[in-house]
Amino acid sequence: MSRRRRSSAHTPGLKVVACSNPVDGYWMIQQAIACDDPVIFLEPKRQYHADKLELDESATPDPLFTSRTVRAGSDVTVPAYGPTVKTALKAAEAAANEGKSLEVIDLRTLSPLDMKPVYESVRRTGRVVVTHEAHVNLGMGSELSARITEECFYSLEAPVLRVGGFDTPYPPSRIEEEWLPDLDRVLDAVDRSLEF
């Protein structure tokens, strides 16, 4: 699955979106269908078991190809997409209990990447921990790290750190949770970032 995401996201002209919650999924699938360009809509299986949310059909949805800050913070920026947004939010909650403030950004779209909210956040926090489900090696975090370093180099107080799947073949479903990034691995990266 991670290989498909990577190859899809770097195909010129192809749009790739990844919702992190059922409400976004409801709006984004309609926006993707209405889009004039071809759109790949990533629908991770883990989302089928996500918490149910109330849907206000009269609300105005966010534009399709935009990122969104889902939790404000001041110490470390944590960009994520799809199911890892939930992991990042849990990490932010746990970090808050230790006096650390994480800003979580839901990327929502992998191609094109809306980096403006990320850059604005990084310029305030000076630290970044990117999290995603794919392998760390050549995963989406590599692209995010490169762009953040190019645009925010003088604002960074620590190297951009990545938390993703281990660099091993994708495991069978019964041990999948051991392979995917979890709360402890995100918090460990946050601690390492804050040590610089």
- In the structure encoding, which two tokens stand for residue 116, read together? 């403006």
Convert the pLDDT of each residue in 126-180 to its tens digit. 999 999 988 888 889 999 999 999 999 999 999 999 999 888 888 888 888 888 8
Give the number of other CB atoms < 10 A from CB of residue 167.
Answer: 10
Domains of the chain (ranges; CATH) run 2-49 (no CATH), 68-194 (3.40.50.920)
Convert the pLDDT of each residue in 65-109 to its tens digit. 999 999 999 999 999 999 999 999 999 999 999 999 999 999 999
25-29, long-range: CB within 8 Å, 24+ apart, which pairs? 26/55, 27/61, 27/62, 28/61, 28/64, 28/108
Q: Has this prediction a pTM greater than 0.75?
A: yes
